[in-house]
Structure 1
Amino acid sequence: MKATKVKSASNIYHVYVGENIRYDLNSYLPKDYSSILIVTDEIVAKLYLEDIKNSLSDKHVHSSTIPYGEKSKNLDTFYQLHTDAIECGLDRQSLIIALGGGVVGDVAGFVAATYMRGIDFIQMPTTILAHDSSVGGKVAINHEQGKNLIGNFYPPAAVVYDVQTLQTLDEKEVRSGYAELIKEALIKDEVFFHSLLASDVSVLTNDVLANQLNRGIEIKASIVELDERESGIRKHLNLGHTLGHALESILGYGTRTHGELVAIGLLFALQVSEKLFSVKLPYDQLLQWLERNSYPIQLTNINKEQVLNRMKLDKKTVDTTIQMILLKDIAQPVVVKISDEDILRYLVSFLKELEKIS
């Protein structure tokens, strides 16, 4: 088991990564709580909810289960979880545990941030993708016009990451998580990036997963400690997300996984970077890796003007001008303002490229 310390403006918390640590959850609670509400989804509940309840058998424990998938990150779920917390009698000394993937972590964390003006919560990720979202304190729900537009910065009291739970993930969820690892490597660690390109995501041992996840978490932690509220370098973590988020809202949340669309966004960011900075980046190597690992990178019947309009809703946009995270080289990310005309030109070229691939 490895523990990574993360410093936020309001607290210091640890990210614990290991095998079967869900069975000893009491050891990772930062303090004693009056009551605990476990928030999970309908799939994870069947797999791991009883394990968590049993590990907290000496506590006053309640649970609430939300529907699986991105469509649960909405105001209705947010309100219902507040109702559940009230009915379970949670007070300011209570704890919320987010047991699940990024959706559960985001919405349960946002509930914790706002219930009685804020109570502790613990992230218990059960997906590879959630290694990223569970660290750094971003909590949110979606608006139909854009992803994560309603939210807050609210760090967890701890992150308890049992990699054994990742063995039940299907292939698309594994692909989704590895897109975020690729992103972290591209912005910070060239050696890590090339080691990921040597990975076959269909055959991953717990040791390999733990090592790669720990490196991704270290990268994320090193950035959010310097810029917790995304006023500067934390924006670099959005590499690939300006287009990825736009595609999610256009195609419909849950149609493809977050990471699968971020993977397309990474390709777009690399292509734009190459054209804008006249550099050679590992676009071809990344494309080949995505194809080898069966990422669905084909896009059909995409309206470029609609994509542009959704990209303009990105949180980095300033005065209606899109800001993209681009690379001058691996581990050299920059924030660049790009005009609508240039974005449309880059989109036309990129979409044609994807058509050739399909």
Structure 2
Amino acid sequence: MDLMVSLKENSYPIYIESGILNHADKYIKQIFQGNKIMIISDDQVYGYYGKQLTDLLSKDYLVDHVIVEHGEQSKRFDILPSLYKALLNFKLTRTDLIIALGGGVIGDLAGFVAATFLRGIKFVQIPTSLLAQVDSSVGGKVAVDLPEGKNLVGAFYHPKMVLIDPLTLKTLPERFIYDGMAEVIKYGCIKDKKLFDKLNSYQDFNDLYQDIDQIIYRCVDIKRDVVEKDQFDFGDRLVLNFGHTLGHALEQYYHYQKYSHGEAVSIGMVQLTKIAEEHNLSPQGLHLQIQELCQKYHLPVVSNVETEKLIDAISLDKKNINKKLSLILLKDIGDSYVYQSDYSLIKAKDRI
């Protein structure tokens, strides 16, 4: 299965195929004829797939790697100098290539490094987590975190290619399968009732896995469509942030220790829809449908954090435009809209 993200000179292909990692070199050759490749990965993922990828690519290129600790803490701004130093030691030039091998953290981090080192180096995304495969590897958003909040230093910088191998999900800890399912559920909520209903029809993730290629394809296709219409996140693309305003605030409140990204987004989707219902901005009972589906895939739906404690983090949200908070609400499952609000809507609820 393959797709093309059509953005004129920033266009790139996405390939989805079980086992594609075994012949990644054939695909890399299509877009890169240079000399050196630096693989950026984490200490878990590299152990599973790093040697295999290095051996494949070493037939045609000089290959090195730099490994960071797994987890959100490696997306810190202050980790960047050590990565740049590794690239300099390898004598990477503007005609070389960076490969992001890992989940969403690695994709964001390696993408930001590629965007900024020597003012931009080609890079390829090889996402190995469900969250990265269905969401973060596509769309060109790359970033690192500051202590004050998530993704506050970043760029729009598109990969030259995305290679998605669903077999890598076999080595993913169960918690992070469900973490990725939050983003899959999000796509059903904002754009595709059929997808939402399909997710409801499976007994569990093992049952769903038989259709994983098609589910990844559908999520990526929705994101492709939205990104093509709105590359820089001021209009249509905002709907991709459903659940993220509260989710990012929760992640930051707990210093990225308690909730994974998907877990926080799950809480955000359910609680924001509940708030919207209380103000007659969404139909009654909608949050219960989302809640039931999230719980089916073992995701939390409430945090009980006092709303007041999240306001500082929400105020730094990048979706604040012209002093208004752009909240993504639902008219129904599969039908989303952007609602401009101040903080009063969220503050009306004591706890999230």
Interval of TM-score (by shorter of Structure 1 and Structure 2) = over 0.9
Aligned ranges 1:335-346 → 2 under 5 Å? 335-345=338-348
Do the aligned partners of 1:39 and 1:108 also contact (CA within 8 Å) in 2?
yes
Distance in 2 (alpha carbons) for counterparts of 1:153 and 1:202: 32
Query: Alignment partner for residue 137 of structure 1, among 126, 137, 140?
Result: 140
Distance in 1 (alpha carbons) for counterparts of 2:209 and 2:49: 18
Distance in 2 (alpha carbons) for counterparts of 1:186 and 1:288: 13
1:98 — aligned with what?
100
Residues 200 and 113 of structure 1: is their aligned pair in 2 closer, same or farther, counting only changes over 3 Å?
farther
2:288 aligned with 1:284: yes
2:13 aligned with 1:10: no
1:52-72 deviation per Cα after TM superposition (whole angstroms, max 9, x unaligned): 112112110000000100010
Distance in 1 (alpha carbons) for counterparts of 2:257 and 2:13: 30
2:36 aligned with 1:35: yes
Matched AA of 1:209: I
Residues 329 and 19 of structure 1: is their aligned pair in 2 closer, same or farther, counting only changes over 3 Å?
same
Residues 36 and 248 of structure 1: is their aligned pair in 2 closer, same or farther, counting only changes over 3 Å?
same
Aligned ranges 1:1-358 → 2 under 5 Å? 2-29=1-28, 30-58=31-59, 59-131=61-133, 132-204=135-207, 206-274=209-277, 275-277=279-281, 279-280=283-284, 282-300=286-304, 302-345=305-348, 347-348=349-350, 351=352
Distance in 2 (alpha carbons) for counterparts of 1:198 and 1:212: 13
CA positional deviation for 1:303: 2.8
Structure 1's unaligned 5+ residue stretches are 352-358
Distance in 2 (alpha carbons) for counterparts of 1:201 and 1:102: 23
Please, which moves more after superposition, 334-343 or 248-257? 334-343
Please, which moves more after superposition, 206-215 or 120-129? 206-215
Quote the RMSD (CA, aligned, Å): 1.6
1:17-40 deviation per Cα after TM superposition (whole angstroms, max 9, x unaligned): 111111111221212121000000
CA positional deviation for 1:77: 2.0
Please, which moves more after superposition, 53-62 or 235-244? 53-62
Residues 94 and 210 of structure 1: is their aligned pair in 2 closer, same or farther, counting only changes over 3 Å?
same
Do the aligned partners of 1:250 and 1:307 also contact (CA within 8 Å) in 2?
yes
- The TM-score normalised by the length of structure 2 is 0.94
Helix, strand or coil at the partner of 2:9:
coil
Residues 8 and 77 of structure 1: is their aligned pair in 2 closer, same or farther, counting only changes over 3 Å?
farther
1:354 — aligned with what?
none
1:264-292 deviation per Cα after TM superposition (whole angstroms, max 9, x unaligned): 11102322332332523532122122223
Helix, strand or coil at the partner of 2:206:
coil
Distance in 1 (alpha carbons) for counterparts of 2:233 and 2:342: 22
Matched AA of 2:314: M
Helix, strand or coil at the partner of 2:130:
coil
Helix, strand or coil at the partner of 1:90:
coil
Do the aligned partners of 1:176 and 1:259 also contact (CA within 8 Å) in 2?
yes
Structure 2's unaligned 5+ residue stretches are none
Residues 50 and 150 of structure 1: is their aligned pair in 2 closer, same or farther, counting only changes over 3 Å?
same
